[in-house]
Amino acid sequence: MTRFTPHRMSKSERRRLVTGLLFVSPWLAGFLLWRVYPLLSSLYYSFTRYDLLREPVPVGFKNYVELFTTDPKFGVVIYNTLYYVLLGAPLGVVSAFLMASLLNTKIVARPFFRAIFFFPAIVPTIVTAVVWQFLLNVQFGAVNSLLQGLGLPTIPFLSSPALAKPSLILIYMWAQGNAMVIFLATLQDVPRVLYEAATVDGANAWHKFWHITIPMSTPVILFNLIMGFIYGFQEFTLPWLLTGGGPNNATEFYAIYLYRNAFNFLRMGKASALAWILFVIIIIFTVILFKTSARWVYYGGESE
């Protein structure tokens, strides 16, 4: 019988451990103070009636019950957010992938187009909002001025409840610079030998794209899709600046409603409950994506 003997650290090992901990301690302190503490606080607040200015009063699950039973806006907010995420995240990935594929070909002025496509990723959101407002406004926007000039009716992109969400998705698809760069790196990493073998086998461009490029990019597609989902669920700045949640609540997304409860209505407890529900929703979507990924994501180094 083998007896387990705990490893006793030597003096120098202990010293190294202490040194390591000391070096990492600023990060650890920051992580505990600025991440873990607020996270746990918000969990506690979600079970309280807390208005920021007075002491929290424990109310059990009331905030959660209110959201799922009596809050008339919660359903609208969930619908808006799911609409935006389920359409926006995949379309964002498609848009980024297509842009990257385009830039991976031998087109003229490739560096220029790379810069142009990446540009939205580095522009502050407020600037993006002003530019799109200038383009899409129903009365004074450049797009509608063009339509007017052609004698066509104008389109209330951002002021019609039916069009506001699709318009925001369109803007989201445009702002895919980061995802595009990741895709571009992936595409450039696909082994040339695969394309050469396919050419020898008589494959055309579409076959190569469908049977080589896409499968080889699936790990990054999964990554960008997950990031898109997470980003989409937390989307706040652009709709807040462009539509303020309107018209008629059409762009009242989850994060906007959370903010409204926290700072307009002083319902920080309810806002914390909203945050934790959002956390669970994001976890569920991420797990679903990971679970289904075995069917469609190809990892080259994976054993059978």
Residue from 265, 271, 254 nearest 63 by CA: 271
Q: How far is Cα 14 from Cα 11, in angstroms, rounded to an integer? A: 5
DSSP state of 58: E
In sequence order, what are the residues at sequence separation of 6 or more whose Cβ sits closer than 8 angstroms to the Cβ of residue 1? none
Compute the least distance from the CB of residue 153 to other proteins, in Å.
7
Q: Return the number of other C-beta atoms located less than 10 Å from residue 55's C-beta.
A: 8
DSSP state of 54: S
Residue 137 or 272 with smaller CB distance to other proteins = 137
- Residue found by looking up tokens 């990060």 in the block: 27
Residue 73 or 208 with smaller CB distance to other proteins = 73
Q: How far is Cα 298 from Cα 221, in angstroms, rounded to an integer? A: 10
Residue 168 or 242 with smaller CB distance to other proteins = 242
Residue 75 or 191 with smaller CB distance to other proteins = 75
Compute the least distance from the CB of residue 150 to other proteins, in Å.
10
Compute the least distance from the CB of residue 101 to other proteins, in Å.
35
Residue 265 or 299 with smaller CB distance to other proteins = 265
Compute the least distance from the CB of residue 76 to other proteins, in Å.
10
Residue 62 or 208 with smaller CB distance to other proteins = 62
Compute the least distance from the CB of residue 25 to other proteins, in Å.
9
Helix (H) or strand (E) holding 195: helix 192-200
Compute the least distance from the CB of residue 18 to other proteins, in Å.
9
Between β-strands 48-49 and 57-58, what pairing exists: parallel, antiparallel or unpaired?
antiparallel
Compute the least distance from the CB of residue 144 to other proteins, in Å.
8
Which residues of the chain form contacts with other proteins (CB under 8 A)?
Answer: 15, 19, 22, 49, 51-54, 57, 62, 66, 70, 72-73, 133, 137-140, 144, 148, 151, 153-154, 156, 158-161, 242-243, 246-249, 260, 262-267, 270
Tokens coding 124 = 């502050």
Residue from 227, 131, 219, 208 nearest 183 by CA: 219
User: Residue ranges of the alpha helices (H) in the chain?
Assistant: 11-31, 37-45, 62-69, 74-103, 110-122, 125-136, 142-149, 161-174, 177-188, 192-200, 205-208, 214-233, 237-242, 254-259, 268-296
Q: How far is Cα 260 from Cα 263, in angstroms, rounded to an integer? A: 6
Q: Residue 58 phi/psi, 5° resolution?
A: -60, 130
Residue 19 or 188 with smaller CB distance to other proteins = 19
